[in-house]
Amino acid sequence: MLDIGAAHRAEYEIGEDQSAPVTIAEAPGRIHYLGEHGEPKMGLFFSSAIDRYARVAVSLRKDNSLRFFAADLGERKRTTLINLKYKREDRWANNIKVAIHLFADMGFRAKGMNFTVAGDIPQQVGLASSQAIEVAAVMALKGLFHAPVSEKELLTRLCAAQTDFFERNPAPVDYQVIFSGKKDRFLVVDEPALSVRKIKSPITKYRIILMDSRVPRMGVEDELRERRKDLKKGLELLSRKKAGTSLRSFAGDDLVEYMGNLPEKIRRRCMHVVQELRRVGEAADAMEKNDMAALPRVFFHSHESLRDLYEVSCPEVDWLVKRAQEMEGVLGSRMTGQGFGGCTYTIIGENALEEYRKRLEDYERIFGFHPLTHEIRPAPGARIVSQAEHPRREE
């Protein structure tokens, strides 16, 4: 990745004499290995931050302009604090604006600021690249203002700022993973409790290969909206038989008894969610016990459930997972992200990599899409890389 400090100084013609100190922060992307497509705001996830980052540099200006530079794209945007608002055409810059909005609400203001953003998180494949920019910008501003605010409070305020700025109610889990990541640690994230359990990786000698199927995706949001409606309806029907405020209430041994009479489509959707809750616990236990026999079953069963019960996979992605499943040396493979295309991840031993790459050649020949691969690993969370001198707070 490029030197964002040098790019920032070159863009805004800042010298090396520290007359305009630059604060730099970074935030990782994240991946959910299990737990996606659960009940909104009530999820349990098996996740990690990944070693791909968004980086944001910020420095003060003498005028009242807010300038934004995307170094990777060569794009520039601008506004002022008084005109700070969401603009669809500003795209990536909106993710920095929401961080400015957050700190302005806390009373941390500056007349003008320069921002530069760069990163190496793959785009549009469900790795939370936008959320990483937001968190990197929040951490950069925390460093710029030397703000005495905890990461937990920043997470809460960032969710609130999203609601104010974008008029949407975000899921906090992505921010939780980005803030909480640690090298070679998997995370069990309880979304409603905002709690994180960190598990030391027993698979550091394996590779995690993210595979972008390159399948065009259309109408995904409409499809996912219908499935969320099914979950809501299922909870309503189940609650007539047993008191419960979420599908978690039905994840025990009485699962079949209570779900047996639901309409078939709704039963399948709800069954996926409650069984996935169990699988997150099973994966965590297997990791802690170094049970390499149990892990493949958990990951493959999860993909089968996404394919057959929640129905968010597609033939191309199913082919990639099945080919991986057939190989020796593979600990797990599954789709990740919103589905209907997108990515798979495969946890694979070094000695199986060559055979795996050969099978990807078959994929392109059969389906006509050239897949992209990215090797990732669990990585540290958001941090301030370098910090400016304490600026004067504007009143």
* Catalytic residue annotation: 174
Helices (H), the chain: 4-11, 93-105, 129-145, 151-166, 173-180, 220-238, 255-259, 264-288, 294-308, 315-325, 353-367
Tokens linked to 274: 């409650």
Give the residue among 222, 225, 231, 272 at the shortest CA–CA distance from 251: 272
- Taking the C-alpha atoms of residue 175 and residue 150, their distance in angstroms, rounded to an integer, is 14
Residue 334: alpha-carbon gap to chain centroid: 16
Are the C-beta atoms of residues 27 and 133 closer than 8 Å to each other?
A: yes
- Taking the C-alpha atoms of residue 188 and residue 22, their distance in angstroms, rounded to an integer, is 35
Q: Print burial letters for 168-188: b (CB count within 10 Å at least 16), e (below 16).
A: eebebbbbbbbbbbbebbbbb
Radius of gyration of the chain from its Cα atoms, rounded to whole angstroms? 22
* Dihedral Cα 239, 250, 259, 322, nearest 10 deg: 140
Residue linked to tokens 């972008």: 212
By the 10 Å C-beta count (0-12 exposed, 13-18 middle, 19+ buried), 121 is classed as buried
Give the residue among 322, 331, 315, 323 at the shortest CA–CA distance from 356: 323
- Taking the C-alpha atoms of residue 65 and residue 68, their distance in angstroms, rounded to an integer, is 10
